């Protein structure tokens, strides 16, 4: 009897939910997300950017949804309807791209309605929430550069590695022109495709170049993981130890393999004045660890929600073989130290402030920017790139 009551109650809840959903769809203009795979009705997005997710799972006992900080950082229960679909409406999501996933009877799975993107060390569903009044990251009717998949053999790691290389719109039309290069690094658990796929970097650069807000440049996006061929198996670990160890190998790969290969394969200006390095999160830390040790290679630096962790700035005067010790020399040599975060990721805002202050105390100039209403997610970093790229290479 208790069971029967519970079942009736459950059906009742579902019916109420379904009615709400139907009303909601009508009233709030739910439409399939632009990021859905072809022909998929779900997920849907409302006028206030609530996200209606659905998964068909007739035999499942429990289904939840979870995602990035601007979407649904804590697991949220879905409710099963009589057809076997599980449904939930995530209230007003933050702007731009979010990773997300379902948890079906304890197993983390992707949404068949969305494409996957390499995040959290594995292919993970993603959704694009419209951003009112912002189109700097959209494909527009301007000349477009190509993003090239570029393979090279890395002797240090004993593997073929893949870089994605953005060549600006006029690259093929001016076969003698040489270009400055921005090395752009992804975050932990992501890969070399992140900046072009999740980040829309090619559209951002195309638009900036078309508006003459940025100089035409080559952008190199390589993989942020590197393990020496004789070392223990590669990890995609997030720990400080993993990251520092990896940065050491990655430093060698950058200095001895990536940069020489790019200078050989593309029409670069192979000088420090024409080379920039920037990265997001783990990539920001790598930019610090690699870049500050090689002022002879780079002049422009960007730290996008940079993970300045693990005490690497505890003793700034002696950090990086004393790179910051002589402020005058540093300020002459380094054209830009740019720090960014999103207002919703408070610990990174604090890291930006702390690092800027430590540098200022030594007399070192830096710039910062906080993206309003965004989190430790890609829309923050799209805005960072859009703010950072125009400052490069003495436009």
Q: How far is CA 344 from the centre of its chain?
A: 15
Query: Least distance from C-beta 262 to a copy of itself, angstroms?
Result: 12
DSSP codes, 211-269: TTSS---EEEE--S----TTSSPP----SHHHHHHHHHHHHHIIIIIIHHHHHHHS-B-
Sole binder of a copy of itself in the list 26, 133, 160, 311 (CB under 8 A): 160
User: Mapping DSSP to helix (H, G, I), strand (E, B) and coil, where does residue 288 land?
Assistant: helix
Pick the piece of the chain touching a copy of itself (CB under 8 A) from 90-98, 233-241, 302-310, 359-367: 233-241
Token output for 269: 């200006």
Sole binder of a copy of itself in the list 98, 150, 275, 358 (CB under 8 A): 150
The sign one gets for the Cα dihedral 114, 118, 120, 121 is: positive
Does the footprint of a copy of itself cover residue 122 (CB under 8 A)? yes
Print burial letters for 287-298: b (CB count within 10 Å at least 16), e (below 16): bbbbbbbbbebb
Sole binder of a copy of itself in the list 4, 61, 83, 132 (CB under 8 A): 61
Sole binder of a copy of itself in the list 28, 238, 266, 369 (CB under 8 A): 266
Sole binder of a copy of itself in the list 153, 212, 229, 361 (CB under 8 A): 153
Sole binder of a copy of itself in the list 148, 178, 294, 356 (CB under 8 A): 148
Token output for 244: 């520092």
Do 375 and 345 touch, CB atoms closer than 8 A?
yes
Does the footprint of a copy of itself cover residue 25 (CB under 8 A)? no
The site map against a copy of itself for 99-118 (x = CB under 8 A) is -----xxxxxxx-x--xx-x
Query: Least distance from C-beta 194 to a copy of itself, angstroms?
Result: 14
Of residues 246, 215, 223, 233, the one with CA closest to residue 310: 246
Residues touching a copy of itself, count (CB under 8 A): 51
Does the footprint of a copy of itself cover residue 12 (CB under 8 A)? no
Does the footprint of a copy of itself cover residue 37 (CB under 8 A)? yes
Q: Which is nearer to a copy of itself, 164 or 254 (CB)?
A: 164
Do 297 and 258 touch, CB atoms closer than 8 A?
no
Do 205 and 382 touch, CB atoms closer than 8 A?
no
Does the footprint of a copy of itself cover residue 135 (CB under 8 A)? no
Sole binder of a copy of itself in the list 92, 239, 265, 346 (CB under 8 A): 265
Do 105 and 55 touch, CB atoms closer than 8 A?
no
Of residues 93, 89, 90, the one with CA closest to residue 344: 93
Please give the residues from 307 up to 326 whose contact with a copy of itself meets the rule CB under 8 A: none
Residues that bind a copy of itself (CB under 8 A): 37-39, 55-62, 104-110, 112, 115-116, 118, 121-123, 139, 141, 144, 146-153, 160, 165, 172, 175, 196, 202, 225, 233-237, 265-267
């Amino acid at each position: 009897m208790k069971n029967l009551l519970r079942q009736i109650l459950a059906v009742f809840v579902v019916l109420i939910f379904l009615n709400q959903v139907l009303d909601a769809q009508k009233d709030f203009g739910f439409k399939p997300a632009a990021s859905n795979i072809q022909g998929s009705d779900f997920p849907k997005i409302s006028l206030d950017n609530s996200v209606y997710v659905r998964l068909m799972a007739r035999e499942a006992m429990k289904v939840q949804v979870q995602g990035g900080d601007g979407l649904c950082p804590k697991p949220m229960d879905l409710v099963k309807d009589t057809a076997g679909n599980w449904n939930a409406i995530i209230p007003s999501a933050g702007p731009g791209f979010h990773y997300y996933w379902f948890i079906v009877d304890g197993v983390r799975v992707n949404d068949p309605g969305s494409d996957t993107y390499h995040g959290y060390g594995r292919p993970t569903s993603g959704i694009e929430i419209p951003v009112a009044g912002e189109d700097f990251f959209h494909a527009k009717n301007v000349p477009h550069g190509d993003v090239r998949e570029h393979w090279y053999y890395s002797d240090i790691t004993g593997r073929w590695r893949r870089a994605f290389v953005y060549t600006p719109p006029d690259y093929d039309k001016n076969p003698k022109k040489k270009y400055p290069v921005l090395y752009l690094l992804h975050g932990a658990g992501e890969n070399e495709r992140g900046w072009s796929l999740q980040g829309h970097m090619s559209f951002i650069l195309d638009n900036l170049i078309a508006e003459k807000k940025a100089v035409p440049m080559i952008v190199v996006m390589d993989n942020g993981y590197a393990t020496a061929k004789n070392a223990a198996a590669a990890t995609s670990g997030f720990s400080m130890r993993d990251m520092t160890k990896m940065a050491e190998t990655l430093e060698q790969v950058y200095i001895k393999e990536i940069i020489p290969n790019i200078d050989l394969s593309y029409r670069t200006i192979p000088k420090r004045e024409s080379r920039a390095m920037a990265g997001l999160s783990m990539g920001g830390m790598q930019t610090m660890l690699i870049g500050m040790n090689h002022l002879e290679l780079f002049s422009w630096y960007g730290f996008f929600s940079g993970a300045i962790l693990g005490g690497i700035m505890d003793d700034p005067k002696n950090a990086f073989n004393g790179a910051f010790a002589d402020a005058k020399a540093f300020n002459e040599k380094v054209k830009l130290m740019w720090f960014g975060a999103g207002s919703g990721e408070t610990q990174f805002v604090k890291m930006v402030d702390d690092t800027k202050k430590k540098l200022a105390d030594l007399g070192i100039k830096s710039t910062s920017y906080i993206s309003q209403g965004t989190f430790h997610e890609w829309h923050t970093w799209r805005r960072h790139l859009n703010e950072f790229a125009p400052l490069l290479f003495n436009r």
